[in-house]
């Protein structure tokens, strides 16, 4: 796992009631090395713990030159799987100012268990083209410090659920069995890059073993990390598909703190490919830094000279406004023509889920990226990730895929081998007006 240096470590008292949770905790603490002695969270000391959590992070400076995100406190808990979940509002009244109900939910394991992501109706309301799929998750918060991500930029702590066997039994298996149309499931929720805690965490060993109980079911790990060597020891790694969010070097070093070099992810993917895992890339988010054409051209060339991805997707920095971009990204690092286009398009993009850059700016960049990929490969499958119907209409010939039914990076029907496992439950992407 990552060489994290948390300023504080906390353990919810109920963790110690389960042997497997304690064993998992001990493995992680041993891997962390010289981390602070864990403090036990009880109902009685919750207010003082919350006071400490509100003050301790971020630090004035990071010890030993580590990314500051590596110092984020860790809270070890268990996923609350009772329904209904206990009411935490009485606890909120006892806690200091600045405490939110979301903080308490993370401490007490009221995390998202599974989400029906990108259903047709919602995507059509948002003018977003994707595929419906189920997401699972067991951690809230991220080891990385990406500036465009709220969790990476401002999250006060990481909440790590330890009762993974129970999650597999009460969440993952029932979802798999209830949704035969979903052939590939995503392990990604709450802004977490889950493989940064492997192999000590043991999530993907359990996840792949669970998937192996069902014919032709697979799971994605979606990551910006290069921590992959542990996958070689998984008995059922054949049930996993590696999907990397990738970028150019300036974005990796100046905006995606803690992720390593941009090339590290391509090298990690190549290692996974040598292990027999399917690999896929998403240039997401594409951030138009100064000299973005040469930077992204170099990244694409490196990727395709060193690995053979099944697919490559593109998505500009979206889901934002000009104001939020200016508040979170260093504008002096960006291409000033793109910045000016976003500034001028504020009124046009104010109700769009695809801001801050207007359609024409995004299309220009997509066209360049498509052309760069085709300079090196005519075979790799290309697609747009969570883009508009209008963008697909204009670029589908250049991409070479039908937006109604295309192979992407992490859809529910994109099985290994550049194949679509279409079935009566899911025949079309959310570009299509009807889901069957």
pLDDT in tens, 23-54: 999 999 999 998 899 999 999 999 999 999 99
Q: What is the pLDDT of residues 297-317, one digit of tens each?
A: 999 999 999 999 999 999 999
Neighbours of 45 (CB within 10 A): 14
Tokens of 139: 């951690």
| 219-244 mean pLDDT | 98
Tokens of 271: 């290692």
Tokens of 78: 């268990």
pLDDT at 100 over 90: yes
What stretches of 179-309 show up as alpha helix (H) in DSSP? 203-211, 249-254, 262-274, 292-306
What is residue 210's predicted lDDT score, i.e. its pLDDT? 98
Find out whether 422 and 183 touch, Cβ atoms under 8 Å: no
Shortest CA distance to 83 belongs to which of 110, 101, 104, 105?
Answer: 110
CA-based angle 422:175:385, to the nearest 5? 50
Shortest CA distance to 242 belongs to which of 256, 262, 228, 257?
Answer: 228
More confident site: 176 or 64 = 176
Beta strands in 9-142 (DSSP E): 9-12, 39-41, 74-77, 114-117, 133-136, 139-140
What is residue 435's predicted lDDT score, i.e. its pLDDT? 64
pLDDT band, very low/low/confident/very high, at 383 (cuts 50, 70, 90): very high
pLDDT at 254 over 90: yes
- Listed in sequence order, the residues at least 6 apart from 303 whose beta carbon sits closer than 8 Å to its beta carbon are 246, 266, 269, 281, 309, 312
Residue ranges and CATH numbers for the domains of the chain are: 111-420 (3.80.30.30)
CA distance 328 to 336: 16
Tokens of 261: 């070099």
Pairing of strands 256-257, 145-146: antiparallel
CA distance 220 to 237: 11
pLDDT > 70 in the chain, percent: 100
What is residue 63's predicted lDDT score, i.e. its pLDDT? 80
Find out whether 390 and 379 touch, Cβ atoms under 8 Å: no
Q: What is the pLDDT of residues 324-371, one digit of tens each?
A: 999 999 999 999 999 999 999 999 999 999 999 999 999 999 999 999
Q: What is the pLDDT of residues 74-90, one digit of tens each?
A: 999 999 999 999 999 99
What is residue 342's predicted lDDT score, i.e. its pLDDT? 98
Residue keyed to tokens 């793109």: 338
What is the residue-averaged pLDDT of the chain? 97
Q: What is the pLDDT of residues 256-311, one digit of tens each?
A: 999 999 999 999 999 999 999 999 999 999 999 999 999 999 999 999 999 999 99
Shortest CA distance to 422 belongs to which of 137, 432, 384?
Answer: 432
Q: What is the pLDDT of residues 133-162, one digit of tens each?
A: 999 999 999 999 999 999 999 999 999 999
- Grouping H, G, I as helix, E, B as strand and the rest as coil, residue 246 is strand
């Amino acid at each position: 796992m990552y060489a994290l240096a948390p300023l504080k470590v906390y353990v919810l008292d109920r963790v110690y009631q389960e042997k497997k949770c304690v064993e998992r905790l001990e493995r992680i603490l041993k891997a962390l090395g010289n981390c602070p002695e864990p403090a036990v969270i009880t109902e009685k000391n919750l207010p003082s713990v919350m006071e400490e959590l509100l003050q301790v992070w971020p630090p004035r400076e990071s010890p030993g030159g580590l990314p500051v995100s590596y110092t984020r406190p860790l809270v070890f808990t268990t996923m609350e799987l009772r329904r209904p979940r206990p009411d935490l509002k009485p606890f909120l009244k006892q806690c200091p100012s600045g405490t939110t109900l979301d903080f308490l939910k993370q401490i007490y394991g009221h995390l998202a268990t599974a989400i029906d992501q990108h259903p047709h109706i919602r995507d059509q309301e948002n003018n977003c083209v994707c595929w419906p799929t189920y997401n699972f998750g067991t951690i809230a918060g991220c080891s990385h410090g990406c500036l465009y991500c709220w969790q990476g930029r401002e999250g006060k702590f990481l909440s790590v659920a330890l009762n993974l066997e129970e999650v597999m039994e009460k969440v993952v298996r029932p979802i798999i069995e209830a949704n035969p149309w979903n052939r590939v499931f995503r392990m990604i929720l709450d802004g977490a890059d889950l493989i940064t805690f492997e192999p000590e965490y043991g999530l993907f060993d359990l996840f792949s073993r669970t998937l192996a109980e069902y014919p032709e079911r697979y799971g994605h790990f979606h990551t910006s990390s290069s921590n992959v060597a542990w996958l070689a020891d998984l008995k059922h790694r054949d049930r996993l598909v590696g999907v990397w969010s990738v970028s150019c070097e300036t974005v990796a070093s100046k905006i995606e703190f803690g992720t390593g070099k941009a090339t590290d992810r391509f090298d990690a993917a190549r290692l996974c490919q040598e292990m027999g895992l399917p690999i896929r890339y998403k240039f997401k988010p594409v951030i138009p830094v100064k000299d973005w054409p040469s930077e992204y051209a170099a990244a694409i060339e490196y990727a395709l000279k060193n690995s053979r991805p099944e697919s490559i997707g593109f998505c500009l920095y979206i889901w934002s406004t000009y104001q939020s971009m200016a508040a979170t990204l260093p504008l002096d690092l960006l291409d000033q023509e793109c910045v000016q286009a976003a500034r001028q398009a504020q009124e046009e993009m104010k109700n769009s889920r695809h801001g801050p850059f207007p359609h024409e700016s995004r299309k220009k960049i997509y066209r360049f990226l498509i052309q760069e990929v085709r300079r090196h490969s005519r075979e790799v499958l290309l697609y747009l990730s969570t883009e508009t119907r209008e963008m697909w209409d204009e670029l589908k010939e250049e991409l070479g895929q039908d937006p109604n039914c295309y192979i992407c990076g992490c859809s529910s029907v994109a099985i290994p081998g550049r194949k679509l496992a279409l079935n009566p439950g899911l025949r079309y992407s959310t570009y299509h007006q009807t889901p069957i």
